[in-house]
Structure 1
Amino acid sequence: MMPPSILGHLNFRFRDPDQPPLPPGTHSLNVLLELPGERDTLLIVPEGLDTTAPVKLLVMFHGAGGSAEKVMPFFKEHAEKNKFLLMIPQSTYITWDLTIGGNGPDLERLDRALDKVNSHFNLDRNHFGFCGFSDGASYSLSIGLSNGETVSHVIALSGGFMNLYVPRGRPLVFIAHSPEDEQLPMDISGLHHYKELKKAGYDIEFMEFHGRHLIHPHVVDKAMKFYLDRSPGRPQS
């Protein structure tokens, strides 16, 4: 039997927090996890977050050659306005390990970071989302659908591949892609994944937009509305 990590399965399980909530601001989870010298996993805690109730968490995966600082501006305002935790991991190498040769240190660090966040916050199981752009979208699709019994929303913005060994659960899925994408053709990536997942019975939305292979604010707006307004078991209005 293969180890769960080879299949993209996380060890993370929801639990009751045993530490006080982190204060508002941007926190380095790697420092809290005592992992010096590694590319930081950042956690944005918005001002005014109500910690007396379960809190929403969105994990955002950057694209190849990217960083937390490059994607943060597109999502931080949404987190602050709508009062959800925003966690931004960074790949160990130039892109996510799954893209290079299989699950490895990135999945292990993600597991530890999620558990660390859960040690400080009671997490909303109906808004525990994975999101990504480009290679990060491929990672979000692959890891999110492999852990769909835990992950509630999977968002893929201009993603390429989808690597599923043993998918679990039925998270809500949002895919956005442009026919003008000069790096990842829509018909063989985003649109193809949409058709395959729709056929498999997933509750899924597809957004076709126009523009180059970039993060587009109006697409992020639509994706965040999907994340905030939809929850498992609630039909689309």
Structure 2
Amino acid sequence: MSRRSLLSAAALLAAGAFIPGCRPLRSTDGGSHAAHLAARPGNVATNGGTGNPAGQRPLGLVAERDALLYVPAAPAGAATAAAGPLPLLLVLHGAGGDAARGLSVLSGLSDEFGIALMSPASRTGTWDAIRGSYEDDVAQIDAGLEEAFSTLDVDPRRIGIAGFSDGASYALGLGLANGDLFSRILAFSPGFIPSGPREAKPEVFISHGRADDVLPIRATSRRIVPSLEGDGYSVTYREFDGGHAVPPEVAREALDWLGW
């Protein structure tokens, strides 16, 4: 996360635009469904998961800052990488990142855990709701999910959303707003929960470094976690000795926690 993004987020917090863990009334653009994602497994024709070699490929949604899909390698003895319904994680990069940066947090574990990853890129330097409202990024994510669902045989019971830093904040906002789609939310070093509606009760995993000097833990996760728990969400919280990062052991613990 850049210093400019940090200062911008701090200004919004100071102004009361976002309060970590708060229960918001509506999006700032006035649309109660602005954070809603329409894509669902089964909404579009699938090809049964065939013809999808393991590895990373662009989705071809836009010419610049395209989304990426990562298909895990086939287990030993399986005919294809997608032999049966796959779990899918939507993974979101931090400020100043792109789809490849988003994938990098978990791609090293994707094959081991057999989880497909879809990583979009924000239209600007960070996600729209970090700046104030859900807009173009939601449409881009929706298009990416629709493409993933049309390409892979995805298990509707095992779909989650994950992110780091600004991506973690956005994952919390978008995940809580679409709890009927995402059964799990992974938030690595979030800053706050953007305004938006809430749907169902997805389970939440949050991690944060005690020495984080970008998004200090006392002003972020240590406020977000008890607020979510007070609202009735099941939260697994892990603090670690370190800064603004996702240590490999924390990433592994998070995927273990999914139970997929």
TM-score by length of 2: 0.80
Runs of 5+ unmatched residues, structure 2 = 1-25, 75-79
The corresponding residue for 2:240 is: 209
The CA distance in 1 between the partners of 2:99 and 2:147, in whole Å, is 18
Q: CA deviation at 1:169?
A: 0.7
**1:25 corresponds to which letter in structure 2?**
G
Q: CA deviation at 1:136?
A: 0.3
SS at match of 1:124: strand
Q: CA deviation at 1:13?
A: 2.4
Q: CA deviation at 1:88?
A: 1.1
The corresponding residue for 2:140 is: 109
The corresponding residue for 1:149 is: 180
Q: Please identify, of 218-227 and 109-118, the stretch whose mean Cα deviation from structure 2 is larger.
A: 218-227
Q: CA deviation at 1:70?
A: 2.9
Runs of 5+ unmatched residues, structure 1 = 231-237
Among 127, 133, 156, the residue aligned to 1:96: 127
What aligned pairs does 1:157-196 form with structure 2 within 5 A after superposition?
Answer: 157-196=188-227
Contact 1:23 1:45 in 2 (8 A): yes
Count how many residue pairs are aligned between Structure 1 and Structure 2: 224
Among 69, 72, 77, the residue aligned to 1:46: 72
The CA distance in 2 between the partners of 1:17 and 1:72, in whole Å, is 25
Higher RCO, 1 or 2 (CA under 8 Å, sep at least 6)? Answer: 2
The corresponding residue for 2:38 is: 11
State the superposition RMSD in angstroms. 1.9
Residue 28, structure 1, aligned to residue 28, structure 2: no
**1:98 corresponds to which letter in structure 2?**
A
The CA distance in 2 between the partners of 1:165 and 1:224, in whole Å, is 26
SS at match of 1:86: strand
Q: CA deviation at 1:147?
A: 0.4
The corresponding residue for 1:60 is: 91
1:59-79: CA deviation from partner (whole Å, max 9, x where unpaired) = 110110112333433311211
Q: CA deviation at 1:52?
A: 4.6
The corresponding residue for 1:235 is: none
The CA distance in 1 between the partners of 2:252 and 2:112, in whole Å, is 12
Contact 2:130 2:194 in 1 (8 A): no
Q: CA deviation at 1:4?
A: 5.0
The corresponding residue for 1:233 is: none
TM-score by length of 1: 0.87
1:71-123: CA deviation from partner (whole Å, max 9, x where unpaired) = 43331121111211111111111111111231111110100110111112222
**2:165 corresponds to which letter in structure 1?**
S
**1:162 corresponds to which letter in structure 2?**
I
Task: Tell me the percent identity.
Answer: 33
Q: CA deviation at 1:149?
A: 1.1
Structure of larger gyration radius? 2
